[in-house]
Amino acid sequence: MTKVYGTGAYDFKRHHVAEYPVGSQHQLSDKPVESKPGSTTLPSSITLSEIQQDRLTQLAMENWSKAGEAAKSKKPFKPELVKEIYETELLVKEGQRKPVPLQRVMILEVSQYLENYLWPNFDPETATFEHVMSMIIMINEKFRENVAAWVCFYDRKDVFQGFLQRVLRLKEGRELSIAEKTNYLVFMINAFQSLEDEVVSETILRLASLPTWHSLSYGRFQMELSLNTDLIKKWKRMLKREAKEVAKRGETFDPVNMPEVKFLRSLIEEFLEILDSKVFPSEQGINGDTNKIGHVGDACILYCERFMEFLIDLLSQLPTRRYLRPLVADVAVVAKCHLSALYRHEKGKLFAQLVDLLQFYEGFEINDHVGTQLTDDEVLQSHYDRLQSFQLFAFKKVSKLRDLALANIGAINKRNDLSKKLSVLSSEELKDLVCHKLKLVSTDDPWSNRDDFLIEVMVSFFEKQQSQKEAINALPLYPNEQIMWDESVVPSINYSGEGCLALPKLNLQFLTLHDYLLRNFNLFRLESTYEIREDIQEAVPHLLAHINNEGEAGFRGWSRMAVPIREFKIAQVKQPNIGEVKPSSVTAEVTFSISSYKAQIRSEWNSLKEHDVLFLLSIRPSFEPLSAEEAAKASVPQRLGLQFVRGCEVIEMRDEEGTLMNDFTGKIKRDEWKPPKGELRTVTVALDTAQYHMDVSNIAEKGEEDVYGTFNILMRRKPKENNFKAILESIRDLMNEYCIVPDWLHNIFLGYGNPSAAQWTNMPDLLKTVDFKDTFLDADHLKESFPDYQVCFTNSDGTENLDPRPPFRITLPKMLKSSTHALPGNKKSAADSKNDVSMADADSEKEKLFVEAYTPPDPGPYPQDQPRLNSVRFTPIQIGAIISGVQPGLTMVVGPPGTGKTDTAVQILNVLYHNCPSQRTLIITHSNQALNDLFEKIMQRDVPARYLLRLGQGEQELATDLDFSRQGRVNAMLVRRLELLSEVERLARSLQLPEDVGYTCETAGYFWLLHVYSRWELFLAACAESENKPSFVKDRFPFKEFFSNTAHPVFTGESFDKDMWAAKGCFSHLKTMFQELEECRAFELLKSTADRANYLMTKQAKIVAMTCTHAALKRKDFLQLGFKYDNLLMEESAQILEIETFIPMLLQRQEDGYARLKRCILIGDHHQLPPVVKNMAFQKYSHMDQSLFTRFVRLGIPYIELNAQGRARPSIAQLYNWRYRDLGDLSYVKEGAIFHRANAGFSYEYQLIDVPDYHGKGESAPSPWFYQNEGEAEYIVSVYIYMRLLGYPANKISILTTYNGQKLLLRDVINRRCVPYDFIGPPNKVTTVDKFQGQQNDFILLSLVRTRFVGHLRDVRRLVVAMSRARLGLYVFCRRSLFEQCYELQPTFQLLLQRPDRLGLNLTEISSYTERHVEDTGPTHLVSSVDEMVTIYQQLYQCTR
């Protein structure tokens, strides 16, 4: 491929999702075509008609397809057909690196071969080998495409257990080909990754349980039992139980031959045999130069890589690790891999990286049996103990090792020293030591005659491992050119899901918090590396580098994000800190010119500020341009002429005269600021010290060239995408702290223990009585919310209340029984199980719930004193979520589209603030938009604005007049202070006292104590004696004059009680006023803006809100300032990366080794789209797009699912509500007039419109992954014009599509056909489904684009988002024949297809208003084509004109 990315007209390379790599046309002849993960796509050369004519499609139609006509007549099941398909279609040629012909498997998958043919006809007794193997391949394909794989087996769980038993015995008496072995292995990998699914876990977990120890060598078995004495009892009990079971069946007890015992051991032995003899079939190179070996078995290499992946997976989760690790050590897998030829061969690079990862997990710092993390000291101590006992042993028993026995520890804990000391032994002595005396390896092991192997085993057992902390601290945080283009770590976009990668995976469980952070650190680092690499590939070609006459690199072009460097010099290298080798800091100065830029781009370069990350590149183009042939072979850096890449961070920037620019530290006062002079800019940057140390050492030791003398390009990135360094630093800091997650969350977080342990009902320190304030609108609302209880209303004194009015205080029972309770994801709602209870219980006594209806004190005589009240009538489930959120512990709320999750969140905050006024709450969301929505609603509740604070960049977009940023809050406090002090002066005047008491907050405080409070106390004492005089209060109230400016007179003088009530209200107004002044006092004392802002954040604000990115960026600052909070509420948490959810839990220092966090409330929806991960490989292989919320749901942690939507017409909601437990509609959607009226001009409120080929073509991809469909684009825009001519407002219509290519095409068509005419104009938005998540509109026109393969809409989460954006009308334009046969999307498309698949219009209506009922279609005209639609709107235009 000669093209350099980032230069073509259609190169939107950053935004696509890989569908498949585009192969050249001639590739189709003999090789099967490459494909990508998660797609159902083949190369551009295959058309839908070819697929329809394909032999497999024909077979499917005859035998198992359920779509269309084919469903009627089906042939009976034939095992021969399965065998024939397997042998002709599913086997690959010997030696290919693919285990299956992907293209054929994908066609079978689309036709639902597994669901409709293999599984319904599976019988564990009679099924053939081919039948089982075909099922294995189809299940693997589902995993590769990231769709639910086990769902179809739920209907016959017992038969599925039989299938798994068949799988375990599949190899008995049969030799599998290497491709079959690989498929078998991939199936086992997938099964072990699905332990949360009970149909799988029962059988699969037994393979890695205690009985596997029957297969350990005797010495290893004794060693393990002596290290874990608790296991001896367990082992004996297990033997008894097994012997009993065998005796029952009347067989002899032979544990070693039980299938579960042998399974893993024989798998490992089979792998070692392939590694040893099959990878390099000829013997020539085992001892010689490995790179000269002739024939290499590619299929065997793939098998070896996947086997490493399998073992890494098993060792990286506790349930499988516990009993498997001794087995891996007993066979010495790692040592054998290290010594294998493949490890050192150039083709074994990925294998070698995987072996190192396996070694890392084998020696992971954890106690396997208790599951606790070992501290660095414990690891060191156990290493010393081990060496010391070996020295003693050597001193007594092995005279030749006297040197080793008497050496100090420092002289023998390094690899080289140890192997040198051991080399004095002869082969026999060495074997005797390792196999008989130390029993590290069994004597039966064929490798035990190799000296290098025995020494390797000894050394890896006794050497000192590098501490994981040290390893992380020595890593540079910025990527360099070597890691950027390493395909096995940062794969290119077209990762097809077939091979494996040297990457950690995020699955359900983690070994320790350290392991959790480490995996996330590595993935996050590599994901950002990938994005930086894309940016470099985009920016550099525009510079048009060439060699000029002096032989230097010159640049003819220009790039917005990259500028040539005029001068680069290292300014300062500081001494290392004690105990470290790298310098403590390295700073450099970079000078560049912005003369060639226009004003807009100049200002972008001028706005570089402290902490921004820049990249220094060294470009050396080749003297002559590469020929097409050379370019095809060259790597990307060679094509770009790129030599080195180093990252750095801005410290400060100066203009040509040396004046500081963009200074945020306060060195330059605001009024002294001047615009920057000249065109040269000098940036002082901090280089990465670890990377600098490595580079300098390489220059000194290896004589390599000085990287720092060669930089000639400075590159910046978009600020929004450039915060990776701060997040990596935060993760690294967390690894260095003894980081503490609250005890109640720790085990659940790692994925162990009882999933409901952190639910509020299992927590200590519950709130016994909760004051719900304005949550309930009236007494009936409260009764509806607790249907399982008999509600008893009382007054404050305990007597019965016959006319209860809110607010209410409820005494909550410890176990709240109700259907609103949180349930684990695999349980159905309690409503289903209720029906099973016999009706006899219905009349029996319901438990009582005591509710106190109290009268709140009068807040004051002015309108602004009245609290703002909630007007939402919460559903019982929402009330359940509010109760759970107010109590300590973990609350998970799933909020389907339109179910009012923001209202629920705001009410939780409101009730929390009133019940725990001293506690502080942190709000985190994914987007600024969501944060602003939440904030706008909090302000309409009774939480004083002075306690709210919004951090980060998005506060400018808040639709309020008040400014909630730090600066805005400080200014508001200062303005408020002046207002209050003038009120104090007015009060002093009204009491005939001198006015200077209102000079400062301090003097006002003394005035309160001396004059105000004392007068109030005297007044109360006088009142106590005169309760029978009705006008007493009116005459004697001391502050009557101050309150003379109220709208109505405060006192009537008719009743003592009424007036006393009002007097208390007036006093409460005064009290609040002086309390606020006390809070303003700090702002009077602190003079600098920064101090005031920090005081506000750490002391004053009760509710602090920010985005997850801001939290990760500023974690260091929060810790320094001593930021504290008790509660964490996270919105959109199913859209936030695991690690970005975790960091906000730890933004405060631990107090005496204990975490302060009391509540964690996660609100999200795992049925909608996950976090965005740009690189497919990290998304598919490492599951990096799994959010913490989704992981918790998979672990079975109970959650509350809101169950009434108030967004869409009930009929539209049915298109997606099948994904939820029992999602119903709010009464307002059922009763509202707007939801009953039809959409004028349309027969139906939702419809699927089948779009045939337009001008002879369906989907097209002008460049890879850039899908467009001209027919759909023209059709949709015509319908949009028709709607505008009828009078639909443009801002009520949005056009959505599933691909970026189509989005740009739609915008083109709109610019051409709509924008020139004012009476049509553009719609509210034209964007992708993914970008529109979280938004809604009345009418949605949706284009699904694809006509060959379903593509990424197969992800049901994307479908749910697409279907749930419309309130009143949804029109889906797509290719019917393609989408109706997709298994995952069936429930939605079956509903859509109950209506005609041609657009139904009502041509009698010519305005946007109609009285027609939504179920009455009226006279329907079915549109036959795009062209007819154009004619219709043209006629309409003539009429309306």
pLDDT band at 6 (very low <50, low <70, confident <90, very high): very low
Average pLDDT of 1369-1392?
Answer: 90
Candidate from 981-985, 994-998, 1411-1415 with smallest mean pLDDT:
994-998
Average pLDDT of 490-501?
Answer: 76
* Confidence at residue 76, expressed as pLDDT on a 0 to 100 scale: 85
What is d(CA 916, CA 302) in angstroms, rounded to the nearest whole number?
Answer: 59
Closest CA to 359 of 410, 325, 323: 325
Q: Which of 258-267, 1063-1072, 1343-1352 has the highest average model confidence (pLDDT)?
A: 1063-1072
Residue 806 reports pLDDT greater than 60: yes
What is d(CA 889, CA 1413) in angstroms, rounded to the nearest whole number?
Answer: 48
Could you tell me if 741 and 514 are in contact, meaning their C-beta atoms sit under 8 angstroms apart?
A: no
Average pLDDT of 513-540?
Answer: 91
pLDDT band at 843 (very low <50, low <70, confident <90, very high): very low
Q: How many CA atoms lie within 13 A of 398 on its CB side?
A: 26
Whether omega for the bond prior to residue 861 falls within 30 degrees of 0, making it cis, is: no
Question: What is the C-alpha radius of gyration for the chain, rounded to an integer number of angstroms?
Answer: 36
* Confidence at residue 14, expressed as pLDDT on a 0 to 100 scale: 31
* Confidence at residue 659, expressed as pLDDT on a 0 to 100 scale: 85
Q: Which residue(s) pair with 616 in the sheet?
A: 646, 714
The string of DSSP letters for 886-908 reads HSSEEEEEE--TTS-HHHHHHHH
Q: What is the mean pLDDT of the chain?
A: 86
pLDDT band at 898 (very low <50, low <70, confident <90, very high): very high
* Confidence at residue 1030, expressed as pLDDT on a 0 to 100 scale: 85
Task: Say what angle helices 259-273 and 157-168 make with each other, to 10 degrees.
Answer: 50
Residue 1367 reports pLDDT greater than 90: yes
* Confidence at residue 672, expressed as pLDDT on a 0 to 100 scale: 67
* Confidence at residue 25, expressed as pLDDT on a 0 to 100 scale: 31
Query: How much of the chain, in percent, has pLDDT values that exceed 70?
Result: 91
Q: Which of 456-465, 991-1000, 1005-1014 has the highest average model confidence (pLDDT)?
A: 1005-1014
Query: How much of the chain, in percent, has pLDDT values that exceed 90?
Result: 42
The DSSP element (H or E) to which 573 belongs, if any, is strand 562-573
Residue 1167 reports pLDDT greater than 90: yes
pLDDT band at 1157 (very low <50, low <70, confident <90, very high): very high
pLDDT band at 957 (very low <50, low <70, confident <90, very high): low
SS3 1059: helix
CA–centroid distance for 647 within its chain: 26
The string of DSSP letters for 245-266 reads HHHHHT----GGG-HHHHHHHH
pLDDT band at 26 (very low <50, low <70, confident <90, very high): very low
Identify residue 220 by its one-letter amino acid code: R
Q: Please count the other Cβ atoms lying within 10 Å of the Cβ belonging to residue 718.
A: 9
Closest CA to 614 of 604, 627, 599: 604
Residue 671 reports pLDDT greater than 80: no
Question: Which position has the token pair 């086992």?
Answer: 188
Q: Tens of pLDDT along 1092-1145?
A: 888 988 999 999 999 888 898 889 889 999 999 999 999 999 999 999 999 999
Candidate from 805-809, 1120-1124, 1177-1181 with smallest mean pLDDT:
1177-1181
pLDDT band at 961 (very low <50, low <70, confident <90, very high): low
* Confidence at residue 5, expressed as pLDDT on a 0 to 100 scale: 29
Residue 259 reports pLDDT greater than 90: no
Q: Tens of pLDDT along 912-923?
A: 999 999 999 999
Q: Tens of pLDDT along 877-894?
A: 999 999 999 999 999 999
* Confidence at residue 669, expressed as pLDDT on a 0 to 100 scale: 60
* Confidence at residue 20, expressed as pLDDT on a 0 to 100 scale: 37
Q: Tens of pLDDT along 1255-1266?
A: 988 899 887 778
pLDDT band at 4 (very low <50, low <70, confident <90, very high): very low
Where do the DSSP E strands lie in 889-1033?
889-894, 921-925, 948-950
Nearby residues of 848 by Cβ (< 8 Å), 6 or more positions away: 789, 790, 791, 792
pLDDT band at 115 (very low <50, low <70, confident <90, very high): confident
Q: Tens of pLDDT along 130-161?
A: 999 999 999 999 888 888 888 888 888 899 99
Residue 280 reports pLDDT greater than 80: no
CA 815 to each of CA 512, 624, 833: distance values in angstroms, whole numbers, following the listed order: 32, 79, 18
Residue 1391 reports pLDDT greater than 90: yes
Could you tell me if 129 and 170 are in contact, meaning their C-beta atoms sit under 8 angstroms apart?
A: yes
* Confidence at residue 939, expressed as pLDDT on a 0 to 100 scale: 86
Average pLDDT of 303-328?
Answer: 92
What single-letter DSSP state applies at residue 1096?
I
* Confidence at residue 1413, expressed as pLDDT on a 0 to 100 scale: 93
Q: What is the largest CA-CA distance in the chain?
A: 116
Residue 684 reports pLDDT greater than 90: yes
* Confidence at residue 1073, expressed as pLDDT on a 0 to 100 scale: 94
pLDDT band at 1284 (very low <50, low <70, confident <90, very high): very high
pLDDT band at 536 (very low <50, low <70, confident <90, very high): very high
Q: Tens of pLDDT along 602-656?
A: 988 988 888 889 999 999 888 777 777 877 788 888 888 899 999 999 999 998 8
Neighbour-count burial for 1314-1325, b at 16+ CB within 10 Å, e otherwise: beeeeebeebbe
* Confidence at residue 1069, expressed as pLDDT on a 0 to 100 scale: 94
Q: Tens of pLDDT along 357-413?
A: 999 999 888 888 888 888 888 898 999 999 999 899 999 988 888 888 888 888 887
* Confidence at residue 836, expressed as pLDDT on a 0 to 100 scale: 41
1291 against 51, higher pLDDT: 1291
